[in-house]
Amino acid sequence: MQDTPAIPATPVGGKPPKVGFVSLGCPKALTDSELILTQLSAEGYETSKTFAGADLVIVNTCGFIDDAVKESLDTIGEALSENGRVIVTGCLGARADAAGDNLVRAVHPKVLAVTGPHATQEVMDAVHQHAPKPHDPFVDLVPATGIKLTPKHYAYLKISEGCNHRCTFCIIPSMRGDLVSRPVGDVLSEARALFESGVKELLVVSQDTSAYGVDLKYRTGFFDGKPVKTRMLELCAQLGELAAPHGAWVRLHYVYPYPHVDELLPLMAEGRVLPYLDVPFQHSHPEVLRRMKRPASGERNLERLLMWREACPELVIRSTFIAGFPGETEAEFQHLLDFVREAQIDRAGCFAYSPVAGAAANDLPGALPTEVREERRARFMAVAEQVSIARLQHRVGATMQVLVDKAPALGRKGGLGRSYADAPEIDGNVRLLPPEKASKTLKVGEFTKARVVATEGHDLIAQPI
């Protein structure tokens, strides 16, 4: 028996139960949170901004790196002490401890229920059990797009779950399972509803966007009565068509450098999807990539990237890297630094390798001392920043389309936005100066043209025109 306070069944006409919600982790986890919140709202549950004011609390966790695990466990602990009735979902919920027991339950035995990621129905079943459904659901109050945790003008669109790769440093497949692509008709219907609700930037996410449809053998689905293949190229072409009447952007994340990605470049050159690719290279040296078991590790990444740049000169590449992977020699690390310089990576993030419990890389020989890993990360970032800042400098004098994220003082005193080169949260910003023309104001969620006048770190400063 769990030692938790009981909640009475909601009487007919009584107040609907309130659910506290904490969403941690990556954009994929965020879309899971949105599905759960949408379902809660559809059934008439209310949300509470505080743990204490809720009838129960749902914590959507992240279990990817040690810091994320700690943050998730701490948040569950906080919710338990302030509320006492906690349901845990997400990646951490699928992890086992060293003894093979559920990690969350081992640390916090008083939680009401624990599920893995993308488990909306299981979470709802637990909610129904511990805070019974209201009798008068406000179904009609839920927007067609569901509940979004992002600002109204951009949204993440998850196209698949799980991953068929087995990178040695990663435990996501053990938590999220193999690749399961969403039906192309569902994905496109969701995209259309989002654009119709005012979304101006759609961020396509998954674990491996380039693999979309592999599990379904690229079968033909239907959207609006028309056949569409479940494949990245066809999906992106359709998304571009849906975005066009709204003047909206489509941005692609987690794309691997497979040969078939070449086919996307014409769509980018034609402006149907943004000339921006988030390609998590992780390393450049073939031997390190082989030890990492990375997708597309056998591809000639530098040649491919230079060819992409030729096909679409505006292309911006964001990537993440790992420095100090087990066995990484100084020569292999130098190869990585040369790659960043030659490939002219616009935006790069770098982690010093850190072992993740349960990952195969932990058993690889040649683990490097923490100081070496950290020192390489710092050297990497110094080079990556030089490249990034030099590339930003080239934009001074250019006129760019900027999507406004913040516009205080009714948009008369400038604001903050992003160009096609900046994804929300992870890249830089465009700092907008106060408009010169009295008739011009900046509005959140709208585009403005702006002339770049200077750079500031990873950001641009621009004058709205």
User: Residue 255 or 336: which CB sits closer to ligand SF4?
Assistant: 255
Distance in Å, CB of 276 to ligand SF4, minimum: 19
Place of tokens 């989002």: 194
- Cα distance between residue 425 and residue 189, in whole Å: 26
Distance in Å, CB of 43 to ligand SF4, minimum: 32
- Cα distance between residue 416 and residue 402, in whole Å: 9
- Number of residues engaging ligand SF4 in binding (CB under 6 A): 10
Distance in Å, CB of 163 to ligand SF4, minimum: 3
- Cα distance between residue 302 and residue 317, in whole Å: 12
Token readout for 17 is 């139960």
- Cα distance between residue 61 and residue 36, in whole Å: 13
Burial class (CB in 10 A: 0-12, 13-18, 19+), 298: exposed
- Tally the C-alpha atoms within 13 A of residue 97's C-alpha that lie toward its C-beta: 10
Q: Which stretch binds ligand SF4 (CB under 6 A): 102-110, 170-178, 234-242, 402-410?
A: 170-178
User: Residue 195 or 281: which CB sits closer to ligand SF4?
Assistant: 281
Distance in Å, CB of 172 to ligand SF4, minimum: 4
**DSSP label of 447:** E
User: Residue 57 or 348: which CB sits closer to ligand SF4?
Assistant: 348
User: Residue 306 or 360: which CB sits closer to ligand SF4?
Assistant: 360
Alpha carbon distances (Å) from 32 to 12, 381, 429: 30, 32, 27
Token readout for 368 is 């490097």
Rounding to the nearest 10 degrees, give the CA dihedral for residues 152, 280, 185, 122. -80
Strand partners, 155: 202
CB atoms within 10 A of CB 325: 29
- Cα distance between residue 452 and residue 446, in whole Å: 18
User: Residue 185 or 355: which CB sits closer to ligand SF4?
Assistant: 355
Site for ligand SF4, residues 195 to 214, rule: CB under 6 A: 207-208
User: Residue 166 or 440: which CB sits closer to ligand SF4?
Assistant: 166
Distance in Å, CB of 147 to ligand SF4, minimum: 26
- Cα distance between residue 298 and residue 115, in whole Å: 36
- Tell me the three-class secondary structure of 181-199, residue by residue: ECCHHHHHHHHHHHHHCCC
- Cα distance between residue 33 and residue 39, in whole Å: 10
Site for ligand SF4, residues 294 to 323, rule: CB under 6 A: 295
Distance in Å, CB of 166 to ligand SF4, minimum: 6
User: Residue 280 or 424: which CB sits closer to ligand SF4?
Assistant: 280
Task: Please identify which residue in 35, 94, 172, 407 interacts with ligand SF4, judged by CB under 6 A.
Answer: 172
User: Residue 164 or 463: which CB sits closer to ligand SF4?
Assistant: 164
Task: Please identify which residue in 24, 57, 59, 170 interacts with ligand SF4, judged by CB under 6 A.
Answer: 170
User: Residue 288 or 430: which CB sits closer to ligand SF4?
Assistant: 288
Contact between residue 455 and residue 423 where contact means Cβ atoms under 8 Å apart: no
- Cα distance between residue 338 and residue 222, in whole Å: 45
Distance in Å, CB of 144 to ligand SF4, minimum: 30
Distance in Å, CB of 292 to ligand SF4, minimum: 8
SS3 state at 442 = coil
Q: Is 173 in the site for ligand SF4 (CB under 6 A)?
A: yes
Site for ligand SF4, residues 326 to 385, rule: CB under 6 A: none
User: Residue 178 or 456: which CB sits closer to ligand SF4?
Assistant: 178
Distance in Å, CB of 161 to ligand SF4, minimum: 11
Place of tokens 């690229």: 218
- Binding to ligand SF4 by CB under 6 A, coded x per residue (else -) over 140-169, reads -----------------------x-xxx--
Site for ligand SF4, residues 277 to 296, rule: CB under 6 A: 295
Distance in Å, CB of 394 to ligand SF4, minimum: 31
What are the residues binding ligand SF4 (CB under 6 A)? 163, 165-167, 170, 172-173, 207-208, 295
